[in-house]
């Protein structure tokens, strides 16, 4: 390395050597501006000897570098940074840039001119002139505007000291693009405003109705509009049961402050003892959820006047509000047939239950907008919607009030004479199949049904199952006449008894062996032997077929819940004794109503008509709807039906006949007595069921009446069934103004 010429004047002489001076003015990490003396004009000079003339190529390179630095400074200004002043020579910033380990060091001084011959080492040793000091470079001061980092060091010079070739020149860094950033910011703003706008539209159009409805719901009050239950009338329009406005009395136990005093005050008005009311007024919790009990019923169906008195007491926790109750003017009149409703006006038994969907109306609702707090009153002009209540339809029955009343009275009086267990009476219109009356004993007060015993609630005529006994013999004779097995004037040889299987069957009126008995005699004496012999000729299949045609062993469909179907044995199931028992009405089960309908077919010239109870339906607007015609079919011919009716007249008119107690003066009566047993779960129960079924007038029957009575003793039922039939038939014929018979019953020959 050449030494500095000591003869060259140096204004820093005496301080440092040439190398030291260079390092002092161009330390690592400093710019040429910081290391040049104040009088330096930025042009390269020789360190010794006379001043060298400027080189045009060096001047051009210097101008190019200055232009590059201006571009760099201009890019920073675009990024929002204030432009920095350029140095006089290199354009470097006045501030010394902070050193960063990742930054490259570069000399921003202009490239020295090419060395000339003879120059030697004249340019060495002076700082800031010619090429940089040995091994030292300045830090790049510019930053890359795209990365936010400093610009990479300028390249393209040759490290002459180390003899490395120069790198290819690097393109100047790209300037910032404000228009691109502006477009991006605009797009983001538009997206933001679009989202906000869509949400506002959603609030205004999509969600607004929901918000409005939610707010409105908080201001709405609802009032139920109860729908009256339809009434039930008799055939002439007399009210059997109807709904009347009433009140209920309830209690919120949490609000009762004086349990004892409240119970004492309510007791006389509600018709209950204070000790009965006190437990209902006590606070309590529900068994399942454990929540506080906030309501209990005290009384339903209270009349309006009494309820107003209760309300006037202003007792804490006591609630009085609108209710409905069923009013039955007849109380127990046809109670077993009509049934009753529950506390919620839903039918529970009888017609009330069977036709509940017709009788029950649809409750309405009044919804209106109210204020809050003390202004909790309807808002004039506010929301108001009323759904009118739809009252239930009413039913007009085929029942006649007067006949029903007399039928029940007569049955009850006769039942009490023999201390009967139960009884049933059915009154049918033979020509139409309409049920005129249907009484059950015992009965109950339908106005207060919840105190009744279970046996008092049943409709015995349609639910009790019995073996019919001798009343079944009319079915055997009908089939035999229709099939030609016997003729009206036929006779049958009989004896005192007959054996079938393991059973011997005896007659109550025993005749010598070989006696010829007529068909009127068979019915008058109720001959088991003659009936079994005719059934043998008829055959089990034919008898079973006619039993079905007469409606036995199947529900009549009258419309009363709980109706029993009875039971018939198919011929293939018959045993040896069945050939003797079934023809006389045993080993089978029927209901009193089924047997009444079978006799009505004989009275109606051989046509069976389904018994029915509903005459018409009356809508709330008064529109009348009649039910579909009842089912009907022919069983026997009119001639055979008329012949059989005449044969059965012997039961009430022939000497020593079994049905004299059922005879009715002035009218020809055709009928039959019977004795059987009640069947429960397929087994006979203790006691006897006596019966009588008849029709009048026999020459042209209008009504059929069946009476069944179960007594604890033997024979008592037959003694009361006949008289009960007679009295009921007498009133029915007079009530409907049926003229007495003009021709007397024939004189019957019973046996030879």
The residues assigned a catalytic role are 470
d(CA 694, CA 62): 146
What SS3 string covers 10-52? CCCCCCCCHHHHHHHHCCCCCCHHHHCCCCCCCCCCCCCCCCC
Distance from chain centroid for Cα 61: 96
Token couple for 622: 């008064």
Q: Do the beta carbons of residue 263 and residue 278 sit within 8 Å? A: yes
Q: Do the beta carbons of residue 675 and residue 690 sit within 8 Å? A: yes
Phi-psi region of 726 (alpha: psi -120 to 50; beta: other; left: phi over 0): alpha
Q: Please report, for residues 91, 92, 168, 336, the alpha-carbon distance to residue 141 in angstroms, rounded to integers and kept in the order given.
A: 10, 7, 20, 114
d(CA 348, CA 446): 12
List b or e across 362-375, with b for residues whose CB sees 16 or more CB atoms inside 10 angstroms: eebebebbeeeeee
d(CA 425, CA 432): 18
List b or e across 142-156, with b for residues whose CB sees 16 or more CB atoms inside 10 angstroms: bbebeeeebbebbee
The partner residues of 672 in beta bridges, in order of sequence, read: 693
C-alpha closest to that of 534 among 590, 589, 575, 494: 494
C-alpha closest to that of 159 among 95, 210, 94, 112: 112
C-alpha closest to that of 725 among 742, 704, 710: 704
Q: Please report, for residues 383, 702, 726, the alpha-carbon distance to residue 106 in angstroms, rounded to integers and kept in the order given.
A: 85, 136, 141
Burial class (CB in 10 A: 0-12, 13-18, 19+), 22: buried
What SS3 string covers 551-567? CCCCCCCCCCCCCCCCE
Mutual angle of helices 473-483 and 638-648, in 10-degree steps: 140
Cβ-Cβ contacts under 8 Å for 559 (sequence gap 6 or more):
351, 354, 355, 612, 613, 614
d(CA 195, CA 192): 5
Q: Could you tell me what percentage of the chain is helix, strand and coil, using 3-state DSSP and rounding each to the nearest 5?
A: 35, 20, 45
Token couple for 306: 């009494």
Token couple for 524: 């008058």
645, 646, 651, 653: CA torsion to nearest 10: 140
Which helix (H) or strand (E) segment holds residue 426: the answer is strand 422-429
Pairing type for strands 394-397 and 232-233 reads: parallel
């Amino acid at each position: 390395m050449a030494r500095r010429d000591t003869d060259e004047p140096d204004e820093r002489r005496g301080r440092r050597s040439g190398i030291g001076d260079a390092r002092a003015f161009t330390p690592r990490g400093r710019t040429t501006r910081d290391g040049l003396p104040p009088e330096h004009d930025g042009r390269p000079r020789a360190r010794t000897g006379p001043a060298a003339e400027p080189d045009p190529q060096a001047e051009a390179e210097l101008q190019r570098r200055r232009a590059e630095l201006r571009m760099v400074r201009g890019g920073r200004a675009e990024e929002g940074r204030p432009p920095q002043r350029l140095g006089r020579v290199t354009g470097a910033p006045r501030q010394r840039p902070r050193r960063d380990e990742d930054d490259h060091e570069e000399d921003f001084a202009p490239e020295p001119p090419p060395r000339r011959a003879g120059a030697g080492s004249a340019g060495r040793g002076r700082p800031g002139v010619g090429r940089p000091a040995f091994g030292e470079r300045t830090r790049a001061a510019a930053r890359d505007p795209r990365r936010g980092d400093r610009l990479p060091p300028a390249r393209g010079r040759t490290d002459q000291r180390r003899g490395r070739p120069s790198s290819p020149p690097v393109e100047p860094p790209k300037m910032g693009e404000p228009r691109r950033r502006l477009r991006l910011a605009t797009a983001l703003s538009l997206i933001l405003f679009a989202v906000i706008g869509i949400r506002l539209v959603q609030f205004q159009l999509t969600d607004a109705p929901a918000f409005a409805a939610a707010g409105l719901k908080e201001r709405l009050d609802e009032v139920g509009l109860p729908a009256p239950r339809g009434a039930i009338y008799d055939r002439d329009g007399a009210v059997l049961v109807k709904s009347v406005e009433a009140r209920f009395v309830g209690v919120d136990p949490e609000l009762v402050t004086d349990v004892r005093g409240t119970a004492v005050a309510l007791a006389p008005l509600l018709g209950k003892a204070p000790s009965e009311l006190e437990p209902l007024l006590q606070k309590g919790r529900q068994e399942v959820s454990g929540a506080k009990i906030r309501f209990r019923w005290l009384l339903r169906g209270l009349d309006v006047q009494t309820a107003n008195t209760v309300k006037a007491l202003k007792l804490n926790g006591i609630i009085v509000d609108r209710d409905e109750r069923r009013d039955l003017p007849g109380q127990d009149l046809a109670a077993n047939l009509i049934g009753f409703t529950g506390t919620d006006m839903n039918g529970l038994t009888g017609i009330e239950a069977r036709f509940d969907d017709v009788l029950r109306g649809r409750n309405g609702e009044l919804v209106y907008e109210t204020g809050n707090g003390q202004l909790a009153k309807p808002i004039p002009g506010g929301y108001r919607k009323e759904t009118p209540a739809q009252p239930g339809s009413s039913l007009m029955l085929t029942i006649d009030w007067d006949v029903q009343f007399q039928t029940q009275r007569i049955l009850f009086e006769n039942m009490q004479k023999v201390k009967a267990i139960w009884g049933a009476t059915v009154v049918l219109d033979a020509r139409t199949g309409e049920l005129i009356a249907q009484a059950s004993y015992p009965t109950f007060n339908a106005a207060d049904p919840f105190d009744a015993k279970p046996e008092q609630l049943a409709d015995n005529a349609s639910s009790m199952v019995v073996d019919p006994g001798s009343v079944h013999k009319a079915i055997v004779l009908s089939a035999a006449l229709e099939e030609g097995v016997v003729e009206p004037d036929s006779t049958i040889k009989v004896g005192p008894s007959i054996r079938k299987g393991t059973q011997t069957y005896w007659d109550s009126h025993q005749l010598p062996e070989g006696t010829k008995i007529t068909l009127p005699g068979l019915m008058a004496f109720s001959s088991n032997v003659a009936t079994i012999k005719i059934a043998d000729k008829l055959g089990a299949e034919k008898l079973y077929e006619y039993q079905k045609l007469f409606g036995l062993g199947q529900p009549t469909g009258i419309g009363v819940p709980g109706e029993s179907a009875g039971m018939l044995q198919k011929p293939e199931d018959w045993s040896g004794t069945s050939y003797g028992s079934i023809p006389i009405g045993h080993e089978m089960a029927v209901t009193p109503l089924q047997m009444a309908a079978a006799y009505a077919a004989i009275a109606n010239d051989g046509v069976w008509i389904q018994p029915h109870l509903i005459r018409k339906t009356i809508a709330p607007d008064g529109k009348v709807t009649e039910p579909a015609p009842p089912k009907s079919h022919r069983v026997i011919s009119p001639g055979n039906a008329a012949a059989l009716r005449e044969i059965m007249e012997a039961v009430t008119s022939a000497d020593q006949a079994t049905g004299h107690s059922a005879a009715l003066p002035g009218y020809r009566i055709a009928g039959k007595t019977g004795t059987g047993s009640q069947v429960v779960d397929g087994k006979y129960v203790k006691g006897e069921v006596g019966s009588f079924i008849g029709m009048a007038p026999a020459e042209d029957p209008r009504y059929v009446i069946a009476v069944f009575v179960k007594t604890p003793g033997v024979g008592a039922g037959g003694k009361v069934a006949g008289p009960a039939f007679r009295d009921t038939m007498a009133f029915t014929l007079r009530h409907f103004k049926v003229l007495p018979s003009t021709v007397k019953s024939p004189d019957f020959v019973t046996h030879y």
